[in-house]
Structure 1
Amino acid sequence: MNRNAAFASALAAVLTTAVSLAQTTAAPAAAAPAAAAAVAPQAIPAKIAIIEYEQVAAATNEGQRLLQELQTKYTPQKTKLDALAAEIDSLQKQLQAAPATMTDEERASRARAIDTKQKQYQRDGDDATTAYNADVQDAIGKVAQKLGPVVMKYVQQNGYTMLLDNNGQQQGGLTLMWAVGGIDISQAIVDAYNASSGVAAPPPSAPSATRPRPTAPATKPGPSK
Structure 2
Amino acid sequence: MNRTLALASALAAVITPAASLAQVTGASNPASSTTQATTAAPAPVAPQAMPAKIAIIEYEQVAAATNEGQRALEEVQTKYQPKKAALDALAAEIDTLQKQLQSAPANLPEDERATRVRTLDVKQKQYQRDAEDASNAYNADVQEAIGKVAQKLGPVVMKYVQQNGYTMLLDNNGQQQGGLTLMWAPGTDISKEVVDAYNASSGVAAPAPSAPSPSRSAAPAARPRTSK
Q: Indicate whether 1:186 and 2:191 are aligned.
A: yes
1:79 counterpart letter in structure 2: A
1:201 aligns with 2:174: no
CA distance in 1, matches of 2:138, 2:62: 20
Name which of structure 1's ranges 153-162 and 201-210 shifts more when overlaid on structure 2. Answer: 201-210
1:137-176 aligned at under 5 Å gives the runs 137-169=143-175, 175-176=182-183
Paired residues of 2:71 and 2:207 also in contact (CA < 8 A): yes
Letter matched to residue 71 of structure 1: Q
Q: Mark the runs of 5 or more structure 1 residues left unpaired by the alignment.
A: 1-34
Q: Secondary structure at the match of 1:176?
A: coil
Cα 1:159–1:139, aligned 2, differ >3 Å: closer, same or farther? same
What is the rounded CA distance, in whole Å, between the counterparts of 2:62 and 2:210 in structure 1? 19
Secondary structure, counterpart of 1:40 in structure 2: coil
CA distance in 1, matches of 2:195, 2:184: 23
Equivalent in 34, 40, 44 of residue 46 of structure 2: 40
Match of 1:80? 86
Higher relative contact order (CA 8 A, sep 6+): 1
What residue is the counterpart of 1:101 in the other structure?
107
Q: Give the distance between the partners of 1:107 and 1:168, measured in 2 at CA.
A: 50
Backbone CA RMSD of aligned residues: 2.2
Tell me, which stretches of 5 or more residues in structure 2 are unaligned? 1-40
Could you say if the C-alpha distance between residues 171 and 71 of structure 1 is closer, same or farther in structure 2, counting changes exceeding 3 Å? farther
1:165 and 1:175 in contact (8 A); partners too: no
Q: What's 1:19 paired with?
A: none
Out of 184, 200, 224, the position equivalent to 1:220 is 224
Q: Secondary structure at the match of 1:189?
A: helix
Q: What is the distance in 2 between the residues matched to 1:152 and 1:131?
A: 32
For 1:176 and 1:203, locate their aligned partners in 2 and report how far apart those are by CA, in whole Å. 35
TM-score (norm 2): 0.75
Distance 1:188 1:171 in 2: 29
In structure 2, do the counterparts of structure 1 residues 120 and 170 end up closer, same or farther at CA, with 3 Å as the change threshold? farther
Looking at structure 1, the residues matched to 191 and 99 of structure 2 have their Cα atoms a distance apart, in angstroms, of 50
Task: State the distance in 2 between where 1:98 and 1:190 align.
Answer: 58
Say if 1:58 and 1:209, in contact at 8 Å, map to a contact too.
Answer: no
Q: Which amino acid aligns with 1:220?
A: P
Matched residue of 1:214: which SS?
coil
Partners of 1:171 and 1:141 lie apart in 2 by: 23
Shift, 1:96, TM fit:
0.8
Shift of 1:75: 0.7
| Shift of residue 136, structure 1, vs aligned partner | 0.5
Give the counterpart letter for 1:198 in structure 2: G
Equivalences, count = 186
For residue 184 of structure 2, the aligned residue among 177, 188, 193 is: 177
Check the 8 A contact 1:51/1:184 in 2, yes or no: yes
Identity among equivalent pairs (%): 74
